Amino acid sequence: MSMEIGSLNSESLNRNVAMSVRGGTGKKQGGVASKVEPFVSPNEHNPRELRSWAKRTGFVSDYSGEAGTSGSAKFEAFERKGGGSSPKIEIDPVVGRTRRDEIETESRGGAPRAENGAVLDERGRKEKERDGGERKVALNGNANNGMVNREGNGHGVSAVAPVNEEKEGEEGNGDVKVNVFPEGEEHRDGGWQRPLGLKCGLKENPGIVPLIYYGLQHYLSLAGSLVLIPLVMVPVMGGTDKDTATVISTILFLSGITTILHSYFGTRLPLVQGSSFVYLAPALVIINAQEYRNLTEHKFRHIMRELQGAIIVGSIFQSILGFSGFMSVLLRLINPIVVAPTVAAVGLAFFSYGFPQAGTCPEITIPQIALVLIFTLYLRGISIFGRHLFRIYAVPLSLTIIWIYASFLTAGGAYNYKGCNPNIPSSNILLDACRKHAYTMQHCRTDVSNALATAAWVRIPYPLQWGIPIFHFRTSIIMVIVALVASVDSVGTYHATSLQVNSRPPTPGVVSRGIALEGFCSILAGLWGSGTGSTTLTENMHTIDITKVASRNVVVVGAAFLILFSFIGKVGALLASIPQALAASVLCFMWALTAALGLSNLRFSQSTSFRNITIVGVSLFLGMSIPAYFQQYQVESSLILPSYLVPYAAASSGPFRSGIKQLDFAINALMSLNMVVTLLVAFLLDNTVPGRQEERGVFVWSRAEDISTDPSLLSEYSLPKKVVRCCCFNFKCLGV
């Protein structure tokens, strides 16, 4: 239907909040436009419903503090267009829908006429009707081209579809074609619309073959976060290459299971769950406790059982935090100024491990770091067969190339030393010359791992595969606080991802539901023994941004493949064969990316505010400096442990002394963790220093009153109908 916008101005929009759309299929000459009646507010006027109408129509007031442009600017293109008489479409300001009884399908002239006034014949009338059917105006505030994107910073940008000027000589020169919905179609349920730029939206099902391709692509781009953590932990725990392969297979299995659970019962956003870097630092602190250093028999299994017990206790706390609804209350105190430095500290905490470990073999690690940066930054715009392969597969592609290069170095004798055998442990080496090169041979050679030879072809991970978990108060307290840090990390990821996929943040109840399910999934991780808890990976934001795929079905299909690969023991064994120095160089990039993604949360606040930059700067500095103070009380540890592990040994010899060993261990351990100190400082300052809501960038969550007037707001996060029917209670605090 052809549409022409009459003369509008922002003042009349703000006062009357009425829109009259006029368009014509009748004559231009002699046509008299119908008079626009002024809007009269009903007696029982509800401003809340009026706000719902503004959301549906994309109306933005000139005086709104959250609009980046004035209301009149959005319709300047329409004002320049002229036309004849037209059907009158009036929007009911209360209901927010068009009044169908006021739509006239034909003009007063009787038979349809062409632009020059001539009466159309039957053929011309059909063509005119077809063309008119294509030119339609869809008024819905949920559409991507007509929505107001409010990110909580008081400076939201309103997006209105640009009006394309008609080419001269085309039929309907005076018409304005406005297509608010993608592909020219309105969504049937009035809910989610695919944002511009995405190849596959949240609810879309692209077909079997694209699902498989996108699913594998999604997880390959996250390969560094999913499989490299065991390469750091297991050797420090005293595990063998076979143990490393088993832990990797367990992590793949748990990541697939927890991702599927989160996709159906959590926030329902396309978020991959897995072993997070949030749990890596506290795990290293527990691993390097003094009482575990002298263990020789079953050291790996004993430490793993200790980690299992601590993770289970911390996960139970996280589940209670979500299911009780207390997380909804806590969300009022968690803002971008708190999330940004906390997540950044998670990545920066490993600066003492990254290159000191990778520097053992600079001939392979420096090319690895350089190559992943070249793929990510310099070649990110190059497309091969319509795919940005370098940008999407930067980590697995660069790792494969350098791994092959390292294999050539190993086969060529670059790491061969006269009279030295790389398979002999350094403790059994008698020659001083060989002892000096033992570390290099074990970390740089590609043939020292026997995981492929010892791993079984088929192995299914099962609960309690390492034994019964061990519960101690000191380790449980550590993981309880770490579970809180993981929840803060997930809150930032939920908000950022929701804006990427549908520009509508979840409700506090949905966030609580996601946190509760993450706690349940971490309990599963504790039972199966992955060494770390399960949480939402921060790198999800980067993956969706580079792949342009945000489909929930894609994530589920990819998770099913992870479960399948976890049953093949040789897959985990192959990944366990990656040289440790090479893995450390990849982690240098992953940890830097985590820090950058954390700081990107500042875009939801006024990043130029002196209040905000001071809080973030002080939080990060004290988050690095205070743990360094606790880590310096380690005279014995510096003589026993490698230099890159010394910062994680403060729990046993820190300065805090209360006489209670369990409490001393917990406090010294927590104060030596950068992310914990950063969270405490940022949380205290942001909630005590005065600041406007726009300045602080308070996360804006969908509210209950908005959902009551527009239920489609919650359609993306609603649980499956069968699940809702099985619920015996109405869990309002969880968005059910």
Asked if 64 contacts 155 with a C-beta cutoff of 8 angstroms, the reply is no
Q: What is the mean pLDDT of residues 567-591?
A: 94
pLDDT digits (tens, 9 = 90+) for 287-296: 998 888 878 7
pLDDT of 734: 58
| Band of pLDDT at residue 156, cut at 50, 70 and 90 | very low
Q: Which structure tokens are listed for 381?
A: 């715009």
pLDDT digits (tens, 9 = 90+) for 166-183: 444 344 444 433 333 333
- Cα separation, 492 vs 656, in Å, equals 32
Residues 6+ apart with CB under 8 A from 57: 19, 91, 96, 139, 140, 141, 146
Asked if 172 contacts 1 with a C-beta cutoff of 8 angstroms, the reply is no
- Cα separation, 656 vs 663, in Å, equals 9
Q: What is the mean pLDDT of residues 391-401?
A: 94
Average pLDDT, the chain: 77
- In this structure, of 263-277, 383-397, 427-441, the range with the lowest mean pLDDT score is 427-441
- Cα separation, 587 vs 589, in Å, equals 5
Q: Is the pLDDT of residue 69 over 60?
A: no
Helix (H) or strand (E) holding 536: strand 534-536
Q: Which structure tokens are listed for 555?
A: 């994530």
Q: Which structure tokens are listed for 483?
A: 């579970």
pLDDT of 720: 81
pLDDT of 640: 77
pLDDT digits (tens, 9 = 90+) for 477-509: 999 999 999 999 999 999 999 888 876 788 898
pTM over 0.75: no
- Cα separation, 315 vs 484, in Å, equals 10
Tell me the β-bridge partners of 549: 200
Closest CA to 736 of 710, 709, 707: 707
pLDDT of 578: 94
pLDDT of 506: 86
- In this structure, of 54-68, 553-567, 630-644, the range with the lowest mean pLDDT score is 54-68
pLDDT of 221: 87
pLDDT of 709: 66
Q: What is the mean pLDDT of residues 528-557?
A: 92
- In this structure, of 155-159, 474-478, 539-543, the range with the lowest mean pLDDT score is 155-159
Q: Is the pLDDT of residue 126 over 70?
A: no
Which amino acid does the sequence have at 362?
A: P
pLDDT of 731: 54
Q: What is the mean pLDDT of residues 387-398?
A: 92
Q: Is the pLDDT of residue 727 over 70?
A: no
In whole angstroms, how far apart are CA 20 and each of 41, 186, 450? 15, 20, 75
Asked if 710 contacts 519 with a C-beta cutoff of 8 angstroms, the reply is no
Q: Is the pLDDT of residue 39 over 50?
A: yes
pLDDT of 292: 87
pLDDT of 443: 87
Q: Is the pLDDT of residue 77 over 50?
A: no
pLDDT of 17: 41
> First vs last Cα of the chain: how many Å apart?
40
pLDDT of 310: 96
pLDDT of 628: 92
pLDDT of 297: 77
Tell the burial category of 523 from Cβ atoms under 10 Å away from its Cβ (0-12, 13-18, 19+). buried
- In this structure, of 142-151, 413-422, 552-561, the range with the lowest mean pLDDT score is 142-151
Tell the burial category of 447 from Cβ atoms under 10 Å away from its Cβ (0-12, 13-18, 19+). middle
Q: What is the mean pLDDT of residues 682-693?
A: 93
| Band of pLDDT at residue 644, cut at 50, 70 and 90 | confident
Q: Is the pLDDT of residue 364 over 60?
A: yes
In whole angstroms, how far apart are CA 138 and each of 100, 132, 142, 178, 710? 14, 14, 11, 8, 17
Query: In b/e form, how buried is each residue of 524-555, taking b as 16+ CB within 10 angstroms?
Result: bbbbbbbbbbbbbbbbbbbbbebbebbbbbbb
- In this structure, of 188-192, 206-210, 485-489, 732-736, the range with the lowest mean pLDDT score is 188-192
- Residue scoring higher pLDDT (636 or 507): 507
| Band of pLDDT at residue 319, cut at 50, 70 and 90 | very high
pLDDT digits (tens, 9 = 90+) for 219-234: 998 888 888 999 999 9
What is the arrangement of strands in the sheet containing 20-22, beginning at the earlier edge strand? 4-5, 20-22, 88-90
- In this structure, of 207-216, 315-324, 485-494, 645-654, the range with the lowest mean pLDDT score is 645-654
In whole angstroms, how far apart are CA 678 and each of 381, 417, 684, 693? 36, 46, 10, 22
- Residue scoring higher pLDDT (275 or 633): 275
